[in-house]
Amino acid sequence: MTNANTYAQHWLTDHPLVDGRVVLNLGGFRIAVRSNSTAVLEKLGVYFAHTLDVGDADIEVVAIETPALELDLNWLDWAREPGKTGRKDAYVDVMDGRLVKKIRTGMVFLQSAGQRFAVGPCLQNDNQVINFINAQYMTWLQHNRALMCHASGLVVDGRCVAMAGFSGGGKSTLMLHMLGEDGVRYLTNDRLFLDREMETVRARGIAKLPRINPGTIVHNDALKAMLSPAREAELLALPQTELWHLEEKYDVDIEALYGPDKIQTQADLAAFLILNWRPGGDQGCQIEPIDLAARPELLERAIMKSPGPFYQLEDGGFFQDTTALDRAAYLHMLADVPIFEVTGRVDFAHAARFCLNQVRG
């Protein structure tokens, strides 16, 4: 079986790295990024501008710009989460490492204790390179006993409100609806990490800008500059249910659209909302406190999140798609946090007012 270092050395020989690197400081964990492409480094430097640093780093990630690789390996499909369909990731475990392939783009990633490579058309698929870089930070957080939640997070006057929901449930839309308010800052969009500091639950975000669909943009004046007037008119002409489910991703440049100093990396957790609402319908929006221990379906389907194929355990092994998540650990972490379920008709204005009032008290 070929080991991880053999792949790494082969790629470095065929694709010599350029001088220079990008150093990121992600919550105290420092990642240096190198590449054979100056354009890749420049693009990553712009994206991670609010995290840039200098000096030594804890680990190094290498991004190799090249056409998609054709590796003749016995790829195994990584199981999708409940509710998701289609093939997304495939993997092969090699000696002391793991190769992961993105089915749609052909990007290949090498993850091991000493080698971290993203190889393929990186410029065209920079979002996948960004996710891989963030995966290294997420591994570090989990090694430091943080739990990952499928949730967005905002900081309101120094305290965090988290928003979880089923896929396409509107958590990003709700978060951005509130972000224009004074005293509100962005924490994270889709991955929220929780850990305890004595009696306080601490929420931490990752350096990932929100990726949103057009339905979020057309109903938020702060975001409309992201679309041409013609495209906005086309979208507004769609039936509301079709617009709600339309998949067409856009990155939200938080500080360009909402102003400087709008991003925060961590805060104490004040409340957790679970969006279990639906567009349309006759029942008004209702927000009620719940006992999460009595609602395991909400915990498991809306909050708990698999670490995914890049997660390497502290002992060097890898997370498997058959590994069960620890429900008791989540219940313990959230035991003292007010949890609310949002049901009925989708009403972003009502939910936003509730969030702001709940945190400000």
pLDDT digits (tens, 9 = 90+) for 292-345: 999 999 999 999 999 999 999 999 999 999 999 999 999 999 999 999 999 999
The CATH 3.40.50 domain(s) of the chain lie at 147-210+252-360
CATH 3.40.50 is right for the domain spanning 147-210+252-360? yes
Which band of pLDDT confidence, cut at 50, 70 and 90, is reported for residue 163? very high
- Average pLDDT of the residues of the chain: 93
pLDDT confidence of residue 167: 74
Residue 222 has pLDDT above 90, yes or no: no
Separation between Cα atoms, residue 170 and residue 355, nearest integer Å: 14
SS (H, E, C) 50-81: HHEECCCCCEEEEEEECCCCCCCCCCEECCCC
What is the arithmetic mean of pLDDT over 146-175?
Answer: 92
Q: pTM here?
A: 0.92
pLDDT, mean of residues 267-276: 96
Rounded-to-integer distance, Cα 151 and Cα 303, Å? 7
Q: What percent of the chain has pLDDT over 70?
A: 99
pLDDT in tens, 115-140: 999 999 999 999 999 999 999 999 99
pLDDT at 21: 97
**Top-confidence residue, 244 or 316:** 316
pLDDT tier at 83, thresholds 50, 70, 90: low
Tokens of 120: 């393929």
Q: Which of 86-100, 195-209, 222-236 is predicted with the least confidence, judged by mean pLDDT?
A: 222-236
Beta strands in the chain (DSSP E): 22-26, 29-35, 52-53, 59-65, 76-77, 89-94, 97-102, 108-112, 116-120, 147-149, 151-156, 159-165, 184-188, 192-197, 200-204, 211-212, 250-251, 266-275, 286-289, 339-343
303: which DSSP letter? I
Give the total residue count for the chain. 361
- Condensed to tens digits (0 to 9), the pLDDT of residues 298-312 reads 999 999 999 999 999
The Cα 68–Cα 133 span in angstroms is: 19
